[in-house]
Structure 1
Amino acid sequence: MPKVTVIVPVYGVEKYIERCAISLFEQTLDDIEIIFVNDCTPDRSMEILDRIIEKYRFLFEEKKYIVRTESMLTNSGQAAVREHGTKLAIGDYIIHCDSDDWVEKTWLELMYEKADNENIDVVFCDYYRVIDNRKVVCENKCDDGCSNDYYIRRLLTKQCCTSVWNKLVKRGIYQSRDFLYPQCNMWEDYYISTQLFFYAKKIGYLNRPLYNYFCNRQSICYASDYEKKLEQVVVNCDGILSFLKEHNLDMQYSEEIIVLKNSAKREALSSFWATDFYRLWKNIYPGIGGKYLLSRIVSLKDKFQYLIIMLGLYPAWIKLMNRAQ
Structure 2
Amino acid sequence: MKELISIVVPVYNIERYIEQCVLSICDQTYKNIEIMLIDDGSTDRSGNICDRLAGQDQRIKVIHKKHGGNATARRDGVNSAKGKYIGFVDGDDWIEPNMYESLYNFAVENDAQMVTSAGYREYPGVRGKNILRDGLPQGLYDMTDADNLLIKNIFPTGFAKKYYLNGAIWNKLYEKNIINEVINDMEDNFTLFEDNVLNIGAIAKARRIYIQHNIYYHHRERTDSITYRSDMHSFEYMTKAYFYFQKIINESKYKKLWQKQLDEYIICSVFTCLQTFLGDKYIVSKHVFPMNLIPAGSKVVIYGAGVVGKGYKTWVDETGFCKVVKWVDKSVSGKNNGIHGVEPVESIPFVDFDYIVIAVKNKNTA
Aligned partners of 1:145, 1:175: CA distance in 2, in Å? 23
Corresponding position: 1:172 with 2:165: no
Pair 1:67–1:157, CA change in 2 (3 A): closer
Aligned partners of 2:183, 2:72: CA distance in 1, in Å? 17
Aligned partners of 2:124, 2:182: CA distance in 1, in Å? 42
Of 127, 131, 135, which aligns to 2:129? 135
Contact 1:127 1:209 in 2 (8 A): yes
Contact 2:21 2:92 in 1 (8 A): yes
Of 232, 252, 260, which aligns to 1:255? 260
Aligned partners of 2:278, 2:218: CA distance in 1, in Å? 28
Alignment of 1:266-305 (within 5 A): 266-273=272-279, 300-301=315-316
Aligned partners of 2:183, 2:42: CA distance in 1, in Å? 31
Return 5+ residue gaps in structure 1 as ranges: 278-298, 305-316
Aligned partners of 1:26, 1:108: CA distance in 2, in Å? 11
How far 1:119 moved relative to its partner?
Answer: 1.7
Greater percentage in helix: 1
Q: 2:73 is matched with which residue? A: 81
TM-score when scaled to structure 1? 0.78
Aligned partners of 2:183, 2:224: CA distance in 1, in Å? 34
Contact 1:173 1:179 in 2 (8 A): no
Q: 1:70 is matched with which residue? A: 63
Contact 2:245 2:262 in 1 (8 A): no
Aligned partners of 1:2, 1:248: CA distance in 2, in Å? 31
Alignment of 1:308-323 (within 5 A): 320=361, 322-323=363-364
Q: 2:42 is matched with which residue? A: 41
Pair 1:190–1:321, CA change in 2 (3 A): farther
Runs of 4 or more above 6 Å deviation: 274-277
Q: 2:334 is matched with which residue? A: none
Alignment of 1:47-58 (within 5 A): 47-54=48-55, 57=56
Aligned partners of 1:90, 1:241: CA distance in 2, in Å? 30
TM-score when scaled to structure 2? 0.70
Aligned partners of 2:99, 2:34: CA distance in 1, in Å? 14
Alignment of 1:73-222 (within 5 A): 74-132=66-124, 134-143=128-137, 144-148=139-143, 150-158=149-157, 159-176=164-181, 180-183=185-188, 184-222=190-228
Pair 1:252–1:23, CA change in 2 (3 A): same
Aligned partners of 2:40, 2:15: CA distance in 1, in Å? 13
How far 1:48 moved relative to its partner?
Answer: 2.4
Contact 1:182 1:236 in 2 (8 A): no
Corresponding position: 1:11 with 2:12: yes
Aligned partners of 2:75, 2:199: CA distance in 1, in Å? 13
Contact 2:8 2:78 in 1 (8 A): yes
How far 1:179 moved relative to its partner?
Answer: 6.7
**Residues 163-209 of structure 1: CA distance to partner in whole angstroms, max 9, x if unpaired?**
11112011222335897335412000101100111101111012111
Aligned partners of 2:47, 2:171: CA distance in 1, in Å? 24
Contact 1:9 1:98 in 2 (8 A): yes
Partner-residue secondary structure (3-state), 1:253 = helix
Corresponding position: 1:237 with 2:217: no
Aligned partners of 1:10, 1:85: CA distance in 2, in Å? 11
Code of the aligned partner of 1:228: H
Aligned partners of 2:68, 2:103: CA distance in 1, in Å? 30
Code of the aligned partner of 1:123: V
How far 1:105 moved relative to its partner?
Answer: 1.1
Partner-residue secondary structure (3-state), 1:252 = helix
Code of the aligned partner of 1:86: V
Aligned partners of 2:242, 2:168: CA distance in 1, in Å? 14
| Alignment: residue pair count | 282
How far 1:221 moved relative to its partner?
Answer: 1.1
How far 1:51 moved relative to its partner?
Answer: 3.2
**Residues 243-285 of structure 1: CA distance to partner in whole angstroms, max 9, x if unpaired?**
21343544223432232112321222111239999xxxxxxxx
Pair 1:246–1:69, CA change in 2 (3 A): same
State the superposition RMSD in angstroms. 2.9
